[in-house]
Amino acid sequence: MRKARNVSPTPARERALRRLEDLCREHGERLTRPRRAVLATLLSARRPLSAYELLDLLRAEDGKSTAASVYRTLDFLRALGIVHRLESTRSFVLCEHLEGPHWVQFLICRRCGQVVEAEDERIAAATERLGQRLGFALDQRIVELTGVCEGCRASAACHWRPGAR
């Protein structure tokens, strides 16, 4: 039997690329190779990447990427709401909702670096009310929470529980 290489696009990859294509068209922009490459790299990383990690991965594929082009592309993808920047870890992660700009909450695992994007409208509304109450016109309402994810907690429990196999 022929060994199949895993080249079939995953649904997430398809969805993200299609969304980016649509958004580019709506904004009269082109889906250039660097834009597509940054998106594909973030997708396959499955974790947040710093701009320099991203640059290293892109250079491994194509020596032409520069820090300036990566930052430009990330700015573009953030403006379209396809990529979020995590302020606490200065890294970039692909949006899990792909619905244009929105205010979400990130749960960030300190052990494995995994990030979960949650969309709790009550929290988004509460931050808006807080801003109004204190006289702030907020331009950033993303909430970042850190802790230890379920998987890391389970594996820690396995290692630590006396008598566990």
Q: Contact positions toward Zn ion, by CB under 5 A?
A: 95, 97, 104, 109, 111-112, 114, 149, 152
Which is closer to Zn ion, CB of 31 or CB of 152? 152
Q: Which of 123, 127, 145, 148 is nearest to 136 (CA)?
A: 127
Q: How far is the CB of 71 from Zn ion (least distance, A)?
A: 20
43: Cβ contacts below 8 Å, ≥ 6 apart: 10, 12, 13, 16, 94
Which is closer to Zn ion, CB of 38 or CB of 65? 38
Q: How far is the CB of 163 from Zn ion (least distance, A)?
A: 24
124: Cβ contacts below 8 Å, ≥ 6 apart: 103, 104, 141
Which is closer to Zn ion, CB of 42 or CB of 104? 104
- Which amino acid, residue 113? G
Which is closer to Zn ion, CB of 27 or CB of 110? 110
> 103: how many CB neighbours lie within 10 A of its CB?
17
Q: How far is the CB of 15 from Zn ion (least distance, A)?
A: 13
Q: How far is the CB of 99 from Zn ion (least distance, A)?
A: 7
Sign of torsion, CA 156 161 164 165? Answer: positive
